[in-house]
Structures are given as structure tokens and as C-alpha cells.
Structure 1
Amino acid sequence: MTVTARLDLAIFDAADIEEVGSFYAALTGWDVVRQDADRFGLRTPDGQEIEFQRAPDHVAPRWPGQEHPQQFHLDLQTGDPGAEAERAVGLGATRLADGSTWTTLADPAGHPFDLCQKDGVGPVMGLFAVTIDAPDASGLARFYADLTGMPVSYDGPEGALIGADGRNVMFQQISGYNPPRWPDPAHPQQAHLDLTVADLDTGEAWALELGASRLDSGGERFRVLADPAGHPFCLTRAAD
């Protein structure tokens, strides 16, 4: 069996989605494409989407430890990480760390994100990758590569990358990795991926064969599974 699941979007949990969604809209220059009681969605100029999902009891990560791990973060591209980091702080971010070509901050919901140097980026930021923590980055990259058909374009000691059609997912090698245990509030997810498939039954069967585990049958519209590292993800039925 081979089934291709299309990466739809990454969804981050937050108690105040208006605050964090408006923060990223102001910082990145991305378009607001969805705004209701439960979701705040943004779209990059190249068509990638990021959403913030209302989670009233959201417990923020505490980077860099694994007691309350980040699990996911965004790698954003800008021509001047230093200047944009200062602007981010003015918009409500917290500065966490500085590197030679990047700055790590936390958004108003506590999710870390990186501002990465890339020459030629204009006033609207680019999204290089959604980055996911893993105890076995190479193995998790292969799982998602097999599930989505996105090839592994990099595999090294610090992590692995899959990508296609301008969309990238990075898997970051983490020692002492602490997985989410959805829906246990003591070990919450921080974010998850939505993947679309033509048929939920065959898509779920393929994901399980690759090493996923079932968390919620979901019915006829979606299925909730966990990847081999324990991150929940949703399979949703593609629109007819």
C-alpha cells in the first residue's frame, strides 16, 4: 500500500489566539485568512498556512529544557534578524538566545521561534520550515517522507529535512526528548500537523503501517494519530 498525504498546515495551541495570531501577522506581513472563535490562520506569499487553535488550558513551553518542551517551532527568514528581533520584542515577543545568523525568541503564547538570516528577503518574512523535535530525527523524517511523498533533502547529526513545492519540515535531534501524551493535560501537545488524504480509511491504514498509532477515530471528517515520536497529527479528508 502506498498513499500520499498532503501537508496542509501546522497548527499551534494557544489560550489567546487573537493575541498570538495578530503578533505573527504584524511581525511577518503574512495575510490573515481565517479568524473565528477557535482558529486564527495566516498564509505566506507562497501559499503555506499556519494556524493558532484555541486551547483555553494551554501550558506554555519553557525553552530550552525538556520538562515543558517546545516540540514544534517556526524558522522564519529575514534579511536582518537583529533588527527584526528588536521589532518582535516591541510586538510582545521575549528574546531567548542569539546566534551568528539567527535569533531565538518566544511569541506571546510562549512558543519559541527562530529569525534566520537570508539575504534578499523583503519586508514580508519567509517561512523556511516548521521544525519538529524528535529523539530520532532521521527516523521521523523517513516516516513523514513515506507518508507525504516529500523527499528527504538533508540528513545530518543535528537533524533532517523533508521538502517539496517550497514546503519544508525539519526534524531536530533532541537528547532527553519528552513526548506529548495527548490528550493528557500534564503532557500536552504544543502543535500538530494537518495532512489531507483522498480516503481516510486507506490513509489511516498506511500511516499505521508506517509506524503511527491511533489516538481518536474522529469519524468521517478526520482521524487523530500519533507519529513514532508521539506527536499527534490529523488526517483530514481532501475536499471533493
Structure 2
Amino acid sequence: MTVTARLDLAIFDAADIEKVGSFYAELTGWDVVRNDSDRFGLRSPDGQEIEFQRAPDHVAPQWPGQEHPQQIHLDLQTDDPETAAGRAVALGATRLADGPTWITLADPAGHPFDLCQADGVGPVMTLFAVTLDAADASALARFYADLTGMNVTYDGPEGALISADGRSVMFQRISDYNPPRWPDPAYPQQAHLDLVVDDLDAGEARALELGASRTDVGGERFRVFTDPAGHPFCLIR
């Protein structure tokens, strides 16, 4: 029997989680659902969540190069990216680049994110996708689709997308991709995904079968793996 995992949330590393978490809460209009010494969590109106975990030695990415790569970023949707970008800068973001229908900025912890044009969003932003970098975006999309039961809804030369139940994960092709080497602080993960399973042993077997690698971190409640592109992720019971 094929075991699938459910995408739970993306968790970004930061030294000051209160600062970066409050930044996103103010920018997006999402609810704060967790705020303790280790985690700051937000929930969008459609139930999607992101968190920021305290990492005192966090080394910020330097976009767009691969010497200190972003690894993972958020694609946020808004009616008016230009106005939203102005608000983001006033809240502590740094404007990095303009695209045809999006603006790229860095949050106060240094993580790049995109403000993407989408009509009818309203005053509260929506999360279009969490986007992972990879040398082979198609292969990484298939890995996560097979692990989670999500569907590959787009696969093109620049990247791939998997979706299900209103949630999406995008995979962006990077020609000179430099993978994380967690927990080596010189090659930080920047962020990771949490995936929920009913049975950790069965979930582990399925992840390894699909090409993941097991780390020595975890126990009876969670286990840490790396995907075929080197991104750490957690299976959580």
C-alpha cells in the first residue's frame, strides 16, 4: 500500500522570529497562531500556515546568486504588487527586483519572497505557493507528488507545480544550484517543509523508496530527511 504524507507547513529559519513573524503578519493580514520562544506561526484565511523557527546562527541568503542561495521562498498574491511592495519596504523589507507580474523583495531576515499580481485577492494576501529551488525541478516535483499524493499540475522548462486541496508547492529550476548541507551552517537549509504521516515507519519507508535520505535526527514523533535535491524535510506523526 502506498503511504502518502500531508503537507503541513513551511518553516523558515531566523535569528529574530518576532521581528520577521510580525513583519509577515502586518504585510499579509494573516492571523498569528503561535508565538513562543522557538516558533512564530501565521495562518492565512484559507488555512495555510507558515512558521519561523529560532536559529541564532542563521546566515541570510544573498539573492540571486548561489554562493548563499535562497533555497526556498514564498509566492504571495496581491491585487496591487506595487502598493504592497511599498508597504513591505516601510515594514522593513528590501526591494530586490521587478518581474513582469511580480516584485521580489527580501524580508527582515533576508529571505526573498515574491509579491505576485492576482486580481480579486482583496486586502488580505493569499499564499500561491512555497517554492523550492532544484537543479531538476521536474524530478523534485515528482518526488513530492508521489510522497504526498498531490498532483503535478504544471511541468515546464522553468519549473514545475504540484497542487491539491487548495495548496501548491512550486519547484524552480536553477542551473547552478547549490544544495543545502544541513546542519552545516555554511550551507544552511533556510527553510524546510513539515509533512504529517499516520505511521512514521511506513512514511519513512516510502520516503526512502522515492529517493529521500534519512538523517540521524528525530525519534518517535518526528524524523528528519533530505529530499533528492538536498532540502531537509520532517515527517511528523
Query: Which secondary structure state, in structure 2, belongs to the residue aligned with residue 73 of structure 1?
Result: strand
Q: Deviations over 1:31-55 (max 9, x none)?
A: 0000000000000000000000000
Aligned to 1:76: 76
Q: Deviations over 1:64-112 (max 9, x none)?
A: 0000000000000000000100110000000000112110000000000
In structure 2, distance between residues paired with 1:180 and 1:98: 26
Query: Which secondary structure state, in structure 2, belongs to the residue aligned with residue 46 of structure 1?
Result: coil
In structure 1, distance between residues paired with 2:66 and 2:169: 21
In structure 2, distance between residues paired with 1:170 and 1:47: 18
Aligned to 2:55: 55
Unpaired runs of at least 5, structure 2: none
Query: Which secondary structure state, in structure 1, belongs to the residue aligned with residue 218 of structure 2?
Result: coil
In structure 2, distance between residues paired with 1:164 and 1:66: 30
Q: Deviations over 1:179-214 (max 9, x none)?
A: 000111111110000000000011001000000001
Q: Does 2:34 align with 1:34?
A: yes
Aligned to 1:175: 175
1:1-240 to 2 correspondences below 5 Å: 1-237=1-237
In structure 1, distance between residues paired with 2:120 and 2:216: 44
Q: Which amino acid aligns with 2:184?
A: D
Q: Which amino acid aligns with 2:215?
A: L
Superposition deviation, residue 216 in structure 1: 2.4
Superposition deviation, residue 221 in structure 1: 0.5
Q: Deviations over 1:124-163 (max 9, x none)?
A: 0010000000000000000000000001000000000000
Cα separation, partners in 2 of 1:120 and 1:193, compared to 1, 3 Å: same
In structure 1, distance between residues paired with 2:230 and 2:101: 31
Q: Which amino acid aligns with 2:130?
A: V
TM-score by length of 2: 0.99
In structure 2, distance between residues paired with 1:230 and 1:159: 17
In structure 2, distance between residues paired with 1:59 and 1:217: 21
Superposition deviation, residue 217 in structure 1: 4.5
Q: Which amino acid aligns with 2:220?
A: E
In structure 2, distance between residues paired with 1:43 and 1:173: 28
After TM superposition, which residue ranges in structure 1, 4 or more long, deviate above 6 angstroms?
none
In structure 2, distance between residues paired with 1:115 and 1:185: 28
Alignment RMSD (CA, Å): 0.6
Query: Which secondary structure state, in structure 2, belongs to the residue aligned with residue 204 of structure 1?
Result: helix
Q: Which amino acid aligns with 1:93?
A: A
**Percent identity, aligned pairs only?**
85
Equivalent residues, number: 237
Query: Which secondary structure state, in structure 2, belongs to the residue aligned with residue 145 of structure 1?
Result: helix
Q: Which amino acid aligns with 2:221?
A: R
Query: Which secondary structure state, in structure 2, belongs to the residue aligned with residue 161 of structure 1?
Result: strand
